[in-house]
Amino acid sequence: MTRTRSYLGLLPFLMATALGCGGSQPATNEPSGGSADVAEAQPAQPGTGLEEDESTSDLAMHHRHHHHGGFAMFIAMGVDQINATPEQKGAIEKIKTDLWAKMEPAHEAEKQVLLAVADGVAANQFDQGKIDAAIQNVSTASAGIHDAIADSLNSLHDTLTPPQRQALVDKMAAHFEVWHSANTPEEDKDHGHLTRLAKELSLTPDQVDKARAAYEQSIGSVQKFDRAEADAHIKAFSDAFAADHFDAKTLPTKGELNAHMAVWGINRMVKLYEAVAPVLTPDQRTKLADTIREHANYHANGG
């Protein structure tokens, strides 16, 4: 009986162990939580969470219309959400201002594409020569960003703590994931750009079907974006930026990647609007053209 009692004394421990093995418990509000009590999470796939709420949907719309900065834009956007200390904010603000300034030529070139597309939608007639020339300007300007921001990236690395650097590369990769998903034609079948337009313009199912058919045909002629090129850059940049010593000038990736991203993203957008415009009513065309002009005049840096 004595031995029995000693085993029974282990019951609370055994029960606790059994419950612990049972997996996740809701996060408690007790400040006594132990950091060792962790579990692996399932990867968030498929999808990027774009359909979750209005704010993430707006992020997708941003990435459907603004491609000019490539990875530099993802970094400039991400640096706002790294939870900087008050002591860091002055230096980070200066770096951020410099990043946006270096991207401005590409931003201006992209603006001209969007305005040309807006005019084309309004008139239901696209000036292809003007649009192509404007896209070429975006490509050229975007290709120059990589070298132009090298010093800013080096300063940013020196300003951030190692965990903040990790947060920034996570955000850069996450923005790329969102951008890639938002600019994948297959996405339009479910909750993509065309679905968003259908809601905003109150398109009929017949209009959506006709636009989708035209879009699927035209997008097939566009050279596809090479995701492997981007994945290689993410890995190279992430490894380098997370290290104690970093020099952006030694990164293996060159400016062409930003140009490839910008050209693919803009071509996809142009093809979609060219496919949609012919099926719209005059009022819908006016409304869509106005929306595209808003995107053209929008500046992510608050300007």
Partner 1 sequence: MKTIMSLAILAAVSFGTVREASAQVVVEVAPPAAYIASSTPEYYEGRPVYYYNNYWYYRDHGRWSYYRREPAFLYQRRSHWAVRPGYRHGDWGGRYHYRGHR
Q: Which of 112, 136, 155, 166 binds partner 1 (CB under 8 A)?
A: 166
Q: Rg of the Cα trace of the chain? A: 24
Rounded to a whole number of angstroms, the minimum distance from the CB of residue 170 to partner 1 is 6
Q: What x-and-dash track marks residues 168-197 binding partner 1 by CB under 8 A?
A: --xx-xxx-xx--x----------------
Task: Report the distance separating Cα 76 and Cα 237, nearest Å.
Answer: 15
Nearer to partner 1, 62 or 157 (CB): 62
Looking at residue 132, its amino acid is D
The tokens for 1 are 């009986």
Q: Which stretch binds partner 1 (CB under 8 A): 79-87, 127-135, 141-149, 222-230?
A: 79-87
Residue 202 lies near partner 1 (rule: CB under 8 A): no
Residue 228 lies near partner 1 (rule: CB under 8 A): no
**CA nearest neighbour of 141 among 111, 97, 98:** 111
- 3-state secondary structure (DSSP) of residue 10: coil
Nearer to partner 1, 218 or 238 (CB): 238
Rounded to a whole number of angstroms, the minimum distance from the CB of residue 47 to partner 1 is 6
Rounded to a whole number of angstroms, the minimum distance from the CB of residue 274 to partner 1 is 22
Residue 83 lies near partner 1 (rule: CB under 8 A): yes
Residue 87 lies near partner 1 (rule: CB under 8 A): no
**Is 176 within 8 Å of 237 (Cβ atoms)?**
no
Rounded to a whole number of angstroms, the minimum distance from the CB of residue 246 to partner 1 is 18
Task: Compute the C-alpha angle 281/284/289, nearest 5°.
Answer: 125
**Is 142 within 8 Å of 235 (Cβ atoms)?**
no
Nearer to partner 1, 193 or 212 (CB): 193
The tokens for 277 are 């415009």
Residue 146 lies near partner 1 (rule: CB under 8 A): no
Nearer to partner 1, 91 or 174 (CB): 174
Place of tokens 């058919």: 213
Residue 164 lies near partner 1 (rule: CB under 8 A): yes
Task: Report the distance separating Cα 296 and Cα 290, nearest Å.
Answer: 10
- How many residues bind to partner 1 according to rule CB under 8 A? 74
Nearer to partner 1, 22 or 129 (CB): 22
Nearer to partner 1, 17 or 97 (CB): 17
Is the bond into 46 cis (omega within 30 degrees of 0)? yes
The Cα-based distances of 206 to 211, 276, 281 in angstroms read 9, 12, 13
Task: Report the distance separating Cα 142 and Cα 106, nearest Å.
Answer: 5
DSSP code for 127 = -
- Residues in 11-70 that interact with partner 1 by CB under 8 A: 11, 14-15, 17-19, 21-35, 37-44, 47-50, 52, 54-56, 58-62
